Amino acid sequence: MAIVDPARARRAPEPWNDPAAIPYVRIENVVKRFSDFSAVNDISLNIYRGELFALLGGSGSGKTTLLRMLAGFETPSEGRILIDGVDMAGVPPYDRPVNMMFQSYALFPHMNVEQNIAFGLKQDGLPKPQIAERVGAILDMVQMSQFAKRKPHQLSGGQRQRVALARALVKQPKLLLLDEPLAALDKKLREQTQFELMTIQEKVGITFVMVTHDQEEAMTMASRIAVMDRGEIVQVGTPNEIYEYPNSRFVADFIGSVNMYEGRLVEDESDHVVIDSPALGGTVYVDHGVSAAPGANVWLAIRPEKIKVSRTRPAGTHNITRGKVRDIGYLGDVSNYYVTLQSGETMEATLPNLVRLAEPAVLWDEEVWLSWEAENAIVLTS
């Protein structure tokens, strides 16, 4: 029996790796200026049919602005947007095959749940029985049938979120835009809803573009992520690519936590590089090549969970350093060790707590050895 990575199995095809695949949404060199300030600065992006695409970025990075241009509430200052091959320039929001789920949900307060959901279908002039049928079906899907007659103010946050989703989905748009769909929910409900949303997306087969500033949410849900910073896209890739192969210090730092040290490239071969890092007190061996000349200044990024902590010196000559434990953060499932290296820099290591109430392997102020595999250090040139 073959063991299949479930995440791969669910989204087997990867159209973005297939040069023949035709993108469903094309964003071409789009710029959006508000007076003299560019909120979105020359963004190009291809999104494929059936994707759950996440726009991830800090506050003010232009995520909402980009989404609003897809919905038609803002017009690009430059560039163009095509959805399913049709140029959207001049197409008003009410004529676009796109629906949006608003961050504030924007449920109509004077209509009950059923009327809210039926609103979009009524605008299409659908016959009444058909509207009733589709509203009933979507209410079932989001498990809100028993609340059909309630007004929005009589619903909890999670219930409102479902109604907002149902209202946007019931029109079966080509593209569903979600602006921080889960931001208003508490942590527990948010995690549960993430999977529900993914299940629903697979069921209806609609392409989702989701804005979020929560990197865990993007990692959990998205087929691909575009990391945005100050109106530009810094990196596009699958959650795995973005986490394991960030292309810049910004991305490495933004997604998850990371230890970052300066170094100088001393040896550059096609299958490995050696970096001299005073911060780490020696040379570091990395088993992949980089595109930088020897002598160049680079940064080394190592994820905390990839670091091993031990009392005795591990075997090997590279990728080992020493330090003194300064702090231990107990998080329940894992503990974070903050170790002060001999250079004065700090290295964070995350270790799982495998045994209940066990004495921590390492205690405060202990001298420890830290090591990592050659494949786990990332060399960044920008």
Sites of contact with ligand ATP (CB under 6 A): 34, 39, 57, 59-65, 213
- Do residues 322 and 341 lie in contact, with contact meaning Cβ atoms separated by under 8 Å? yes
Under the binding rule (CB under 8 A), the answer on residue 119 touching other proteins is yes
Which residue number, 64 or 235, has a Cβ lying nearer to Mg ion?
A: 64
Which phi and psi angles does 199 have, rounded to 5°? -60, -45
The partner in contact with residue 106, picked from other proteins, ligand ATP, Mg ion, none with C-beta cut-offs of 5 to 8 angstroms by kind, is: other proteins
- Do residues 236 and 218 lie in contact, with contact meaning Cβ atoms separated by under 8 Å? no
According to DSSP, the residues that pair with 209 across neighbouring strands are 53, 177
Under the binding rule (CB under 8 A), the answer on residue 71 touching other proteins is yes
The per-residue DSSP string of 318-331 comes to SSEEEEEEEEEEE-
Under the binding rule (CB under 8 A), the answer on residue 167 touching other proteins is yes
Measured CA to CA, the distance from residue 151 to residue 160 in angstroms comes to 10
Measured CA to CA, the distance from residue 106 to residue 87 in angstroms comes to 27
The partner in contact with residue 100, picked from other proteins, ligand ATP, Mg ion, none with C-beta cut-offs of 5 to 8 angstroms by kind, is: other proteins
The per-residue DSSP string of 114-135 comes to HHHHHHHHHHTT--HHHHHHHH
Look up residue 125 and give its two tokens.
Answer: 């002039």
What does R_g of the chain's alpha carbons equal in angstroms?
A: 25
Q: Residue 211 Cβ, how far from Mg ion at the closest point, in Å?
A: 6
The per-residue DSSP string of 316-377 comes to SSSSEEEEEEEEEEE-SSEEEEEEEETTS-EEEEEEE--STTPPPSS-TT-EEEEE--GGGE
The partner in contact with residue 98, picked from ligand ATP, other proteins, Mg ion, none with C-beta cut-offs of 5 to 8 angstroms by kind, is: other proteins
Q: Are strands 224-229 and 232-237 parallel, antiparallel or unpaired?
A: antiparallel
The partner in contact with residue 39, picked from other proteins, Mg ion, ligand ATP, none with C-beta cut-offs of 5 to 8 angstroms by kind, is: ligand ATP
Which residue number, 183 or 274, has a Cβ lying nearer to other proteins?
A: 183
> Reading across the β-sheet that carries 259-268, which strands appear in turn?
282-286, 273-277, 259-268, 297-302, 377-380
Which residue number, 85 or 92, has a Cβ lying nearer to other proteins?
A: 92
Which residue number, 144 or 227, has a Cβ lying nearer to ligand ATP?
A: 227
Which residue number, 171 or 213, has a Cβ lying nearer to ligand ATP?
A: 213
The partner in contact with residue 212, picked from Mg ion, other proteins, ligand ATP, none with C-beta cut-offs of 5 to 8 angstroms by kind, is: none
Measured CA to CA, the distance from residue 322 to residue 275 in angstroms comes to 17
Segment 337 to 366, residues that bind other proteins, using CB under 8 A: none
> Which amino acid would we find at residue 335?
S
Residue pointed to by tokens 């919905």: 71
Q: Residue 181 Cβ, how far from other proteins at the closest point, in Å?
A: 14
Which residue number, 213 or 306, has a Cβ lying nearer to ligand ATP?
A: 213
Measured CA to CA, the distance from residue 151 to residue 115 in angstroms comes to 9
Under the binding rule (CB under 8 A), the answer on residue 93 touching other proteins is yes
Which residue number, 211 or 325, has a Cβ lying nearer to ligand ATP?
A: 211
Measured CA to CA, the distance from residue 237 to residue 56 in angstroms comes to 11
Contact with other proteins (CB under 8 A): which of 110, 187, 188, 356? 110
- Do residues 314 and 300 lie in contact, with contact meaning Cβ atoms separated by under 8 Å? no
Binding part of the chain for other proteins, among 141-149, 187-195, 218-226, 240-248 by CB under 8 A, reads: 141-149
Binding part of the chain for other proteins, among 33-41, 98-106, 127-135, 184-192 by CB under 8 A, reads: 98-106
Contact with other proteins (CB under 8 A): which of 63, 134, 160, 171? 171
Compute how many residues bind other proteins; rule: CB under 8 A: 29
Which residue number, 96 or 303, has a Cβ lying nearer to other proteins?
A: 96
Q: Residue 375 Cβ, how far from ligand ATP at the closest point, in Å?
A: 34
Segment 52 to 111, residues that bind Mg ion, using CB under 5 A: 64
Contact residues toward other proteins (CB under 8 A) are 71, 73, 92-95, 98-100, 102, 104, 106-110, 119-120, 123-124, 146-147, 149-151, 154, 167-168, 171
Contact residues toward Mg ion (CB under 5 A) are 64
